[in-house]
Structure 1
Amino acid sequence: MGYANSEAVEKRDCPVVGRRLYDAPVCRVRHTVRIRPALGQAHANRDKAAANMELARLTFNRYQGLLTAGAISRQTYDQEKSAYDQAVAAYNQTTQAVSQAESGLLQTDVDKANETALLRRKEQAEAALRQIEVNLDETIIRAPFDGIITEKYVEEGSMISTGTPLVAVQDPTDNWVDIKVPETELSGYHLHDKVTLTGRDDKTKVTGEITDISRKADFATQRATSERGKDTDIITFNVKIQINDTRIRPGMRFRITGSEPA
């Protein structure tokens, strides 16, 4: 959950508040190890913790700006600060381990179970790092295709969460028109027929292809008088016409003015 800012919405991205995980594995060894390999591992752990701390610092600085601008809550800010503090603590812990290795104090004992635990923690740390990379990638919301934004559902400062729609994007090459055809005229329409439609201005003419004829009737929309003088309902069926024309816009109305059998 997070807040939308104006730049994020306009550029198709939005803030995603994700908890950062940092872990620096610590264990005791029960068998003798050489100081040089242990020192190399200690340096590797410290370098990784430093990278995690730098990522946490950059994220925390960004959230400081969002808090000042009133774009996030104090609780969200405190969560990110806690994650940064944990990263700093992990870095300090690995720095201390490097100091111990350099002073030749790494002659200790550890059993195989703790070695397995160390590998498990390493895997967890790597998984946490991969999740951070995924979270960073998900802070950018990209359009699934080239198109036109027809609706904007959020404004600056709006609270958003996973699944919240941001905008509606229309593909100008994938348009269709739904025509309500009375049952008395339905036999004249067939799948894949080519039809010509004219707009309400009598100037806009487009051509399309019938791609679907509904088998389910709509509610009665017309009234007719039978030969005996009694009113009767005439039901309609929906005929979908695919039109790949960039002039078509949502809400426009057309009528069929010509057809050509498939």
Structure 2
Amino acid sequence: MSRAWQQPLPEMPAPAPERAWRRWPAPPGYETQWRRLAEAALELGVGPDELAQTGLGPIATAREWKPATVALYSKVARYGGLALPRAPTPEPDPVQLDLRALTELRDQDPEHVRAVAWCALALAWPAPVGMFRSLRRDQVHAGSRRLVLRTDDGEWVVPGALTAWHAWESVRERYPALAASPWVLPALRRGPGLDSRIGGRLSNQALQVTFAKHAGRTAHHLRATAPPSRYAAAAELAAAYRELSYDSFRRLALAAGAPPVSARGVVRAARSVARAGRLAG
């Protein structure tokens, strides 16, 4: 953890924002998120001292950040030593949401098929995004009717994902870099990093963005293809998808009865189910 944030002395004005951010070390493991937070703050001419006083509200408004993004960057800021108030990760609303449209194949675009395979696996194996980032192909075994995932934590039977998995494997075979990659969710293009390459391991942030894009495109497809008799329901589902993050998707899958893969999110999912039961009663 970095040093705790302190107000500048009255007779010592705060340095210029750009210089102040350069002097403030990033929290270990969150260098990329810290850099993006600093860039967003500098767009408004806000230094770390002022950010600790005003909070993330002005930046979140300017960037149109969703509540989940605000929660992420408030956590990163606190890890860096800035005394920001804790922003809770928003609960998925509604507690029950039909997620099956995210697992339906619409075309053979690699980005689409990769996202569908991910959602199909996560619907029955709701692992945190970090576990999917490190999931290897040799840990996924396709049987005649279902998939079996074997990790250091145990073995899970994953029904309902076989079609999407075979489709993703078929798409990968058309591209040598993807076919040779050991990762279940490899990069499809080079990123800005020097070590980035096609077939390489994606970052947690890249996977979160990948899911958000898939949910948004699925929302557009639902609205564009719904018959008149189903348009209102499709529009409501599409609106929920546009606000959906992978963390919310995972908690919804857990609340729907999927077996927990790790302790993260299980308590929150249980609270969501209990709250829904109280409201129904």
- Give the TM-score taking structure 2 as reference length: 0.22
Structure with greater strand percent: 1
**Higher radius of gyration, 1 or 2:** 1
